[in-house]
Chain A
Amino acid sequence: MGETESNILDRFTLKDIKELADQLGVAGLAGSIRRYTASTYQQFIDTLYSDLNSIVSTLQENPELRKDDGEDRLTLEILSILRGMGYAAGHETKIGGHTDLSVRGKNNYLWIGEAKIHGSYDYLFQGFQQLCTRYTTGDTNQDCGALIIYIKNKNCAAVVKEWRERITAQGLTNLSISDCEDRPDFVFHTTHTHERSGTPFNVKHIGISLYFNPQDKGKAPIT
């Protein structure tokens, strides 16, 4: 390490880190400061969801690589990136059962994600129920989770819209639904009374578009 490089690193500021994060494309670096300094559960969740947004973008960029992947394989990819960012993320961690994705933070913070490849809306509801009635406690610092929906069929927005209507019709206690500002056609939020805790439980429903059916290579037209 040359002396000049050493001097530069001695004066490494937050601005330098952010600029390098942009230039180098290191996963999660831009959000790392918020991750280190989050000091409430809501800040932990907000930062996690911001990082998950980035991960979803990464997954969606190459659907051709993932067209044969099952739920576990896709979830393991999310897990791997979260761990690289420094998250205490787990897969198949035993919390009431074997959770697809869990993230722990300080002060007993816990977030659980249940992942499903969309096949039917009953299957998605089964995942929602696993999340809300099997895995989560609904306790303080543990009242947020997500249903991660891998959508390999076309028209991802229609799937999410239909799912939103279906969940509304399930008769959940004190259900409220709100839009997601970042990805309004593919993500929404629900809050309902958690059966076990009796307190509000917040679920983010995240649609991930993995449809791949390129139509640029076909038979030559008949002339």
Chain B
Amino acid sequence: MKLDHALATIAEDIRPSENQKVFACLAEYVFAHKKDIKHLTYSSIAQVIGTQRPEMLLQVAQYLSGERVKLLEMKFELIIDDNIIPLDDETVYHAEITGSLIHPDTGYPVKDYDRYIYPYFIPSREIENG
């Protein structure tokens, strides 16, 4: 995926059109900093796109992480008492379907597991030099 293709796709998909620049802003940021971005949080995304609307923040992250443009990859960490454990996709999917997450280290279910899973983003492998 190249930047101009991503921007054209955003222009095709995103309505109303005044929202397109918000999506484009994050796309351009990701392309410009793809080698430096290691752990992009929702907070960082909010600062990049300059929004104070959570629905816009979540929409932008959802769209740019989807297969349609695939600029970002969503990753997950289990953080309990400053202990950080990366979670793979299969583990998170299974937790979402069953409503139960087994702690990778202890083997015990984590009560209210979704309170302890923190998503973040990295540039996807599909980004080429644009």
What residues make up the interface of A, taking CB atoms closer than 8 Å to B? 1, 5-7, 9-15, 17-18, 20-21, 24, 26, 28-29, 32-39, 43, 80, 83-89, 104-106
Contact = CB atoms under 8 A, between A and B. Distances in A.
The interface residues of chain A, by DSSP majority, are classed as: helix
B58 A86 contact: no
B7 to A, nearest CB: 15
B66 interface: yes
A10 B43 contact: yes
Contacts of B41: 9-10, 12
A86 B118 contact: no
A1 B52 contact: yes
Contact of A38 (B47, B52, B93, B112): B93
Interface in B29-85: 41-43, 46-47, 50-52, 54-55, 57-59, 62-70, 74, 76
Contacts of A10: 41-43
Contact of A33 (B51, B63, B96): B96
Q: How many B residues are at the interface, by size bracket? A: 35 or more
B122 interface: no
Given A37-B96, A86-B67, A29 B118 contact: no
Contacts of A38: 89, 93
B4 interface: no
B117 interface: yes
Contacts of A26: 55, 58-59, 62
A80 B112 contact: no
6 contacts: A1-B51, A14-B113, A29-B62, A37-B93, A38-B93, A88-B70
